[in-house]
């Protein structure tokens, strides 16, 4: 039984290698008859090409006069290397007894293939890519056979999975790369990826089941801009665009994560945003800030994207501009990473201190958040969300207390009025209260 299994496994390996030689774009160096391959640490037997079996020959290393094996060894046309190592690699020459060169053999040593490491990710809802790398470093020529098939879930109760009998090749993209792309994938389907590593010593296969919901990983947002808002020394307007690979924006939305910090600080502030722009309201006046943004599926499928390239920006230091009713604040200029020299670098090195070129005073909100001499220059800000919420809650509480007090007063008044119409009040609530005229008559008697 074991011999049958062994024979079957050898047959499958041979078929896999044959398929690799036909369909794989990698160069098939192991098809050259003058090259033999062996495993490091194992016994390797070299055969003299072009010489009939049993013909005695002598073996030499290329450019070495030392005889390795001759007629006296009794090994015929074979050369056996026990426990071959890297020093045994090279060109071997075999000669017949009359001195005629029978042929030459180039020996290359390495290891059989190991199961490759495979990972897949999707940049959108219709396409996903898979990359692979060898499970073990090897100097032998290696090719990869990559294919995939769709798996369908038959029912939600038993969760039976049916694999399609048809498989499709996934050629490297670009050619020669360790990466392939599956186009037109279905978001609610599962796929089985088959990556087989083949070299002259055998083949190994890695199977990987993937679904787009789990491997969704958008590309970083693009077009990040950081702009000052005139007259607001603690605000920055940040805007960005969807990644170009996210092709169906109206149907599948993204949410975003915004991070920012002053250049002199090492800790990031993080804000989650659903739109394509945001206003930073707690920037440090006079200091340049570093901003970056990442994206994720709006329903939390997959993972967050990598961070976009960082962009620098500095809040405005001027007076608030006079705007007409209904006119919005427009950005003045976009800022990118400032140069190392000049006025901008002086601001970085002096931690927000005003330079000699700037006559208007700069305020560092970390050291003096509300200086008295600068109160008249700061515009009143009535749009802070926390203050608005506090005012609304106070008004709602006062209204509720007023309604409760009015209801109690109205109830007492109705009770007294009904008691006067019905004669003697009933014992109970306000039952001990006697009419004033009855008390007066009793005193006269």
310 secondary structure, DSSP code: P
Q: Which domain holds residue 82?
A: 41-110
Is residue 101 located within the same domain as residue 164? no
Whether residues 4 and 69 fall in one domain: no
**80 pLDDT more than 60:** yes
Do the Cβ atoms of 55 and 96 come closer than 8 Å? yes
Question: Does the pLDDT value for residue 192 go beyond 90?
Answer: yes
My answer on whether 294 and 242 are in the same domain is yes
pLDDT band at residue 221 under the 50/70/90 scheme = very high
Q: In angstroms, rounded to a whole number, what is the distance separating the alpha carbons of residues 229 and 233?
A: 8
Q: Does residue 411 belong to any structural domain of this protein? A: no
Is the confidence at residue 26, as pLDDT, over 90?
no
- Both 170 and 261 in one domain: the answer is no
Say how many Å lie between the first and final Cα of the chain, rounded.
Answer: 129
Query: Model confidence over 389-399: pLDDT tens digits?
Result: 677 888 888 88
Query: If you average pLDDT over each of 242-256, 268-282, 421-435, which comes out highest?
Result: 268-282
Predicted confidence band at 148 (pLDDT cuts at 50, 70, 90)?
A: very high
Query: Both 248 and 350 in a single domain?
Result: yes
In a domain, 428, yes or no: no
Which stretch of 22-36, 48-62, 178-192, 315-329 has the lowest confidence by average pLDDT? 315-329
230 and 339 share one domain? yes
66 vs 114, which has greater pLDDT?
A: 114
Of 166, 200, 215, the residue that ends a domain is 215
Kindly write down the DSSP assignment for every residue of 196-221, as one continuous string. Answer: EEEETTEEEEEEEEEEHHHHB-PPPP
Closest CA to 144 of 110, 186, 98, 179: 179
What rounded mean pLDDT belongs to the chain?
Answer: 74
- Per-residue pLDDT, averaged over 365-381, amounts to 38
Give the residue-averaged pLDDT of 397-425: 80
pTM over 0.85: no
Q: Among the three residues 161, 181, 215, which one is the final residue of a domain in this structure?
A: 215
Q: Is the peptide bond before 174 cis (omega within 30 degrees of 0)?
A: yes
User: Are residue 297 and residue 248 in the same domain, yes or no?
Assistant: yes
10 and 118 assigned to the same domain: yes
Would you say residue 214 has pLDDT above 70? yes
Least confident of 120-129, 322-331, 342-351, 393-402: 342-351
Any domain includes 121: yes
Question: What is the number of domains present in the chain?
Answer: 3
Nearby residues of 380 by Cβ (< 8 Å), 6 or more positions away: none
Task: Please report whether residue 120 resides in a domain.
Answer: yes
Which is more confidently placed, 39 or 161? 39
Average pLDDT over residues 275-284: 93
Q: Could you tell me if residue 60 is inside a domain?
A: yes
Residue 405 falls within a domain, yes or no? no
- The residue with greater pLDDT, 349 or 192, is 192
144 and 52 in one domain?
no
Top-confidence residue, 288 or 28: 288
Both structure tokens of 435: 């009419």
Pull the structure tokens for residue 331.
Answer: 């950005």
Is 240 domain-assigned? yes
- Say whether both 209 and 232 belong to one domain: no
**Strand 289-297 to 254-262 pairing:** antiparallel
Using only C-alpha atoms, the chain has a radius of gyration, in whole angstroms, of 42
Query: Does a structural domain hold residue 384?
Result: no
pLDDT per residue as tens digits for the range 96-143: 877 677 788 899 999 999 999 999 999 888 889 999 999 888 888 888
pLDDT at 83: 87
- Shared-domain flag, residues 106 and 117: no
Share of the chain above pLDDT 90, in %: 29
Question: Are the CB atoms for 199 and 29 separated by under 8 Å?
Answer: no
CATH for 289: 2.60.40.10
Query: What integer pLDDT is reported at residue 282 of this predicted model?
Result: 92
Which of helix, strand or coil describes residue 416?
A: helix
Q: Are residues 267 and 132 in the same domain?
A: no
Local confidence band at 340 (pLDDT 50, 70, 90 cut-offs): very low
Q: Which of 110, 129, 164 is the last residue of a domain?
A: 110
């Amino acid at each position: 039984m074991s011999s049958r299994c062994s024979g079957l496994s050898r047959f499958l390996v041979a078929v896999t290698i044959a398929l690799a030689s036909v369909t794989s774009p990698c160069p098939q160096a192991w098809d050259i008859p003058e090259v033999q391959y062996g495993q490091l640490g194992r016994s390797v037997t070299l055969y003299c090409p072009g010489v009939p079996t049993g013909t005695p020959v002598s073996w030499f290393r290329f450019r070495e006069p030392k005889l390795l094996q001759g007629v006296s060894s009794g090994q015929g046309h074979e050369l056996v290397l026990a426990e071959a190592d890297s020093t045994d690699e090279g060109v071997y020459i075999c000669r017949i007894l009359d001195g005629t060169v029978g042929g030459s053999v180039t020996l290359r040593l390495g290891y059989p293939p190991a199961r490759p490491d495979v990972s897949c990710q999707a940049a959108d809802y219709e396409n996903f890519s898979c990359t692979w790398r060898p499970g073990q470093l090897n100097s032998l020529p290696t090719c990869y056979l990559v294919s995939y098939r769709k798996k369908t879930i038959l029912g939600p109760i038993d969760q039976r999975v049916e694999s399609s009998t048809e498989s499709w090749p996934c050629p490297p993209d670009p050619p020669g790369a360790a990466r392939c792309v599956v186009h037109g994938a279905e978001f609610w389907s599962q796929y089985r990826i088959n990556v087989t590593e083949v070299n002259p010593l055998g083949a190994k296969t890695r199977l990987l089941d993937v679904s787009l919901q789990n491997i969704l990983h958008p590309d970083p947002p693009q077009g990040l801009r950081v702009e000052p808002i005139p007259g607001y020394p603690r605000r920055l307007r940040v805007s960005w665009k969807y990644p170009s690979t996210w092709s169906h924006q109206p149907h599948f939305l993204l949410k975003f994560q915004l991070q920012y910090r002053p250049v002199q600080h090492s800790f990031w502030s993080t804000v989650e945003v659903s739109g394509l722009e945001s206003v930073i309201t707690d920037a440090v006046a006079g200091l340049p800030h570093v901003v970056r943004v990442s994206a994720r599926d709006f329903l939390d499928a997959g993972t967050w994207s990598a961070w976009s390239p960082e962009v620098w920006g500095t809040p405005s230091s001027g007076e608030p501009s006079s705007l007409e009713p209904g006119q919005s604040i427009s950005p003045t200029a976009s800022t990118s990473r400032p140069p190392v020299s000049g006025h901008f670098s002086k601001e970085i090195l002096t931690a927000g201190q005003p330079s000699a070129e700037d006559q208007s005073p700069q305020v560092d909100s970390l050291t003096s958040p509300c200086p008295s001499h600068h109160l008249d220059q700061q515009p009143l800000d009535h749009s802070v969300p926390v203050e608005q919420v506090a005012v609304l809650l106070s008004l709602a509480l006062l209204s509720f207390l007023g309604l409760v007090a009015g209801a109690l007063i109205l109830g007492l008044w109705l009770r007294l009025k009904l008691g006067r119409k019905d004669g003697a009040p009933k014992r109970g609530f306000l039952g001990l209260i006697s009419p004033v005229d009855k008390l007066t008559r009793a005193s006269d008697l």
